[in-house]
Structure 1
Amino acid sequence: MFKSLMDFIDGLAPLDGAAAARKPSIQLAAAVLLVEVMRADADYSQLERAAVRRALIELFPQSDSEADVLMTQAESSSRMASDLFAFTSPIDELWDMPAKLRLVELMWGVAYADGRLSEIERHTMLRIVYLLHIPPGAQVHARMRAKAAAGLDHED
């Protein structure tokens, strides 16, 4: 168990320091985007943390402890980041549109996890979908699916 956790952590670390500054692992990149949505408003809840964790497990099948390690690393990277491009770029380059749309839907799910969508969460999401080159109609449908999954049928 411990060895597999260490192997997982080693897999998240880039090969050298210069590469780390330029290109995070795809798992870390996706995790940072989910965490950015969670951290968008200052009063993020345990519901949002749980939504991030579930999203990480869905995107990258892993144990709960591996998801926790990835989320901790993502929170640290998110706090230190000066922009989102370093995290959106690898996803935009390597993932096809259905995979990117699933990530966007999961991010909307994080935003709606506490039962409401703040303006800063909405703004953060719009910045991310722009950087991922998601067509407006597609991102609206992803948002509607996430909103329905959260059981919210009222307008924002």
Structure 2
Amino acid sequence: MNDWFASLKSIVGRHEPGDDPHALPRAAAALLLELAVTDEGGDAAELDIVHEAMRRTFGLGTAELQDLLDQAHQAQRESVSLYEFTRQLRTGLAPEQRAELVEWMWRVAYADARLEKHEEHLVRRVADLLAVPHPEFVRRKLLARGD
């Protein structure tokens, strides 16, 4: 019984921000990667947007960015729900930052010049989990589509 609890605690703790300065960028990257890989492994345009989002939003250098994205990709593959990431971001980011993340998700979705239904559904779910108000969700969609 003790081993089971320790195992569960390590799974939950793996995604807790704690003292890790990269916890929030890693959670954001995991969500963006989730969107980028929804259609047949993702393409270069979508992954370029993920890189740009992480550089602009979190000011990461090339080496640091690649390491963080590797960690985020691993976390994304191991996750059982979006809530693991959105919970951290909802409490760790200001409302404007959460809305900006939704806009970056829209940019990833539009990167290949087509919006799939599952991509829109994923962005909508994440926006709900991040408590981004619907008018802001729509505004960010229009901003991303206009680029």
Q: TM-score normalized by structure 1?
A: 0.80
Alignment of 1:143-154 (within 5 A): 143-149=141-147
- Is contact 2:106-2:145 (8 Å) kept? yes
Deviations 1:27-56 (A, max 9, x none): 111111111111122241100011100000
2:104 counterpart (103, 106, 109): 106
- RMSD of the TM alignment (CA)? 1.6
Match of 2:58 in 1: 60
Q: Secondary structure at the match of 2:143?
A: helix
Q: Secondary structure at the match of 1:111?
A: helix
Q: How far is the alpha carbon of 1:145 from its aligned partner?
A: 0.3
Deviates more, 1:139-148 or 1:89-98: 89-98
Does residue 39 in structure 1 map to residue 32 in structure 2? no
Q: How far is the alpha carbon of 1:18 from its aligned partner?
A: 5.8
- Is contact 1:32-1:77 (8 Å) kept? yes
Match of 2:46 in 1: 48
Deviates more, 1:135-144 or 1:70-79: 70-79
The letter of the residue matching 2:77 is: R
1:142 counterpart (137, 140, 143): 140
Match of 2:3 in 1: none
Gap regions ≥5 residues in structure 2 = 1-8, 18-22
Q: Distance in 1 between matches of 2:14 and 2:59?
A: 26
Alignment of 1:65-80 (within 5 A): 65-80=63-78
Q: How far is the alpha carbon of 1:110 from its aligned partner?
A: 0.8
- Is contact 1:40-1:124 (8 Å) kept? no
Q: TM-score normalized by structure 2?
A: 0.85
Gap regions ≥5 residues in structure 1 = 1-15, 150-156
What is the percent sequence identity of the aligned residues?
A: 30
Q: How far is the alpha carbon of 1:60 from its aligned partner?
A: 0.8
- Is contact 2:16-2:88 (8 Å) kept? yes
C-alpha spacing 1:46/1:115, structure 2 compared with 1 (3 Å)? same
Q: How far is the alpha carbon of 1:63 from its aligned partner?
A: 1.0
Match of 1:10 in 2: none
- Is contact 2:103-2:144 (8 Å) kept? yes
Alignment of 1:18-29 (within 5 A): 20-24=13-17, 25-29=23-27
Q: Distance in 2 between matches of 1:61 and 1:142?
A: 21
